[in-house]
Chain A
Amino acid sequence: MGALADAGISPRDVDGVVGTDCAQIVLELGLGPCTRRPSQMGIPALLDAAALITTGQCNVVLIAAGGAGVHVDRSSTAPWTRPANELVVGYGLFTAAEFALMARRHMLTYGTTPEQLATAAAVIRTNGHENPEAVYYGRGPFSPADVLASRMIADPFHLLDCATTSEGGCALVLTTAERAAACEAPVYVLGGASDAFGPAYVVAPVWDFEPRADSFPAGLVGARAARAAFAMAGLSPSDVDVAELYDPFSFEIIRQLEAFGFCAAGEGGAFVEEGNIGPGALLPVTTDGGTMSFSHPGINAQQLQRVIRATQQVRGSCVSHQVEGAEVALCSNGGSGALFCDVLLLGPERP
């Protein structure tokens, strides 16, 4: 309801709901008869909503998700981190270990260091520390040494290299450019695309798995999507003012910087270490504190949170860490350990 009020659109005007909980939302808001698509939350949901609108199936689409009361067994990691797939369950695999197996390959190949990983985590966690809207507001600041001193979870990831878990919810409204023109400070989808190599946490996460020999390996999942998104928008990585990168683990920041073309292969660690991703730097990253510090409500909502934060950035409405004059924001979902990655570009001007 907050997102609809923010857009100045009545719930009665919603004729589509997209996301994993779409049918329940249709029921509870009394929207039926109404179009629904149970798309994966986040950028895939937004791209599906855009397709519903551009094909004329819908005019106003609500994308919403939330989670609470799901992670209650504190002796185990969150349930969504440990699906019981037959080839991984017996070896105690879970998200941190799956992503660590990808990070290790990068460290072996390029000499990426734990300090570089820790620097990415420290920047994002300190953003959250300084953001009054973050779950972990006021809990820092964090230095790379703090991250390295936190207990080991799945080598090379320390506790503070990993996303937190929390409760919460978020929503976003997508409509036609014509309808949006009447709204206050609309934000436009400039481009977007998705990459996947298979289901998450089913087979071994192999960086060099490359079923299409003329494209990218699994370790660079998102590279094809980023190029497609930039081509759709007529932009390049140097046009991006702020990158709201999905941050399940510190290494994923380094990986995405390379996969999306912000720096060359193997240079992500140095890019981070040289101070390029903090507030006021060349490319501010994950400015609200991300899943590490802002919020990580379950399996769904935090993916959409990257889109919402990118929206706030190009609207100039961030409570903290506003990138002044941001005209192009990139946001992402997923990651190498999960074998999928989605990329979206947003801007304040109608393309």
Chain B
Amino acid sequence: MSVLLPQPEGTPAPRPSLRSRAYWDGCRAHQLLYQRCAQCSFRSLGAFTVCAQCHAASPVWAESSGVGSLYSWTVVWRPPDPSFRVPYAPAVVRLDEGFWMMSAVIGCEPEALQEDLRVMVEFHPASSEITLPYFRPA
């Protein structure tokens, strides 16, 4: 069978926003950053200016260990754009720090994907500007 791989450069790449700049800068330095609230330590799903739980204006960036568990996944055979190499496995990972993030699993066959599979982050360039965090079995 086919081992899941990172996408080649040239597939559609993210365009960072002002608020997410720190996240993408972190990826380029191979650091996985996430936002947590300095008041209530709620972990957000994105880069926000106000905590979605306690509404304090105090989300701060923190560095994740990059280790977590597979929460959900799919294996795509019909990509949205022909530049994507199939199959690939978009996945939601629950990091050990307690936040969820969108990514994709690489480094194993699709059949190896299962609930709570332990995974760790691995960075791959998506373009000259963007480095994408992927996850492979730990």
A residues near B (Cβ < 8 Å) are 75-77, 81-82, 84, 86-94, 96-97, 100-102, 104-105, 108, 151-157, 159, 198, 202-207, 209, 211
Contacts and interface: CB of A to CB of B under 8 A. Distances in A.
A121 to B, nearest CB: 16
B75 A152 contact: yes
Q: Is the interface of A mostly helix, strand, loop or mixed?
A: loop
Given A86-B17, A204-B101, A101 B46 contact: no
Contact of A93 (B77, B82, B102): B102
Interface in B1-35: 7, 11-17, 20
Most chain A CB within 10 A, of B15, B71, B73, B78, is at B78
B74 A92 contact: no
A204 B34 CA distance: 14
| Nearest 10 CB-CB pairings of A with B | A100-B74, A94-B80, A86-B14, A204-B102, A82-B80, A203-B45, A155-B75, A92-B84, A153-B78, A104-B72
Contacts of B74: 96-97, 100-101, 104, 154-157
Interface residues of B, number: 40
Contacts, number: 121
A186 to B, nearest CB: 43
25 contacts: A82-B80, A84-B15, A86-B15, A87-B46, A90-B7, A90-B126, A91-B7, A91-B88, A91-B102, A92-B80, A92-B88, A93-B80, A94-B79, A97-B74, A97-B76, A97-B90, A101-B72, A101-B91, A104-B74, A151-B77, A152-B75, A152-B77, A154-B75, A204-B45, A211-B52
B126 A209 contact: no
B81 A93 contact: no
Interface of B: 7, 11-17, 20, 45-46, 52-53, 71-82, 84, 88, 90-92, 100-104, 110, 115, 126, 130, 132
